[in-house]
Amino acid sequence: QSVLTQPPSVSAAPGHNVTISCSGSSSNIGNNYVSWYQQLPGTGPKLLIFDNTKRPSEIPDRFSGSKSGTSATLGITGLQTGDEAEYYCETWDSSLSAGDVVFGGGTKLTVL
């Protein structure tokens, strides 16, 4: 049971847009930056978004991140079949110690 809550799955058709939510609390998302990772089938995680809204240079601008209060959202526009993957949010949580990394449970994106 993760302290960050994500929907288990989302789906949309190619070319459409989708959002994935990540809900937390004041001890994690509310007071820290959020990152997002993409994990394609059979591969390791890849950084998509960091510091809530920033993209590494190689990530296309179809991917975007936002944060409001204790929730964060990953947006993907113009869905492609290659976007079908598991997506994870991540941040720090200070409720138990000086700072622990926490991940969301993951969201499986299906491009119909």
The site for another protein (CB under 8 A) is made up of 2, 32-33, 35, 37, 44-47, 50-51, 56, 88, 90-92, 96-106
HSE (CB half, 13 Å, CA atoms) of 69? 6
Q: Which amino acid is at 99?
A: G
Give the residue with the Cβ less far from another protein, 17 or 96: 96
Q: What ranges in 40-100 are assigned the alpha helix state H? A: none
Give the residue with the Cβ less far from another protein, 2 or 77: 2
In the complex, what is the shortest distance from the CB of residue 34 to another protein, in angstroms, rounded to a whole number? Answer: 8
Give 60-63's long-range contacts (Cβ < 8 A, gap of 24+): 63/36
In the complex, what is the shortest distance from the CB of residue 15 to another protein, in angstroms, rounded to a whole number? Answer: 29
Q: Which amino acid is at 64?
A: S
In the complex, what is the shortest distance from the CB of residue 101 to another protein, in angstroms, rounded to a whole number? Answer: 4
Give the residue with the Cβ less far from another protein, 32 or 73: 32
| Contacts for 18 with CB less than 8 Å, ≥ 6 apart | 10, 11, 12, 75, 76, 79, 109
In the complex, what is the shortest distance from the CB of residue 4 to another protein, in angstroms, rounded to a whole number? Answer: 10
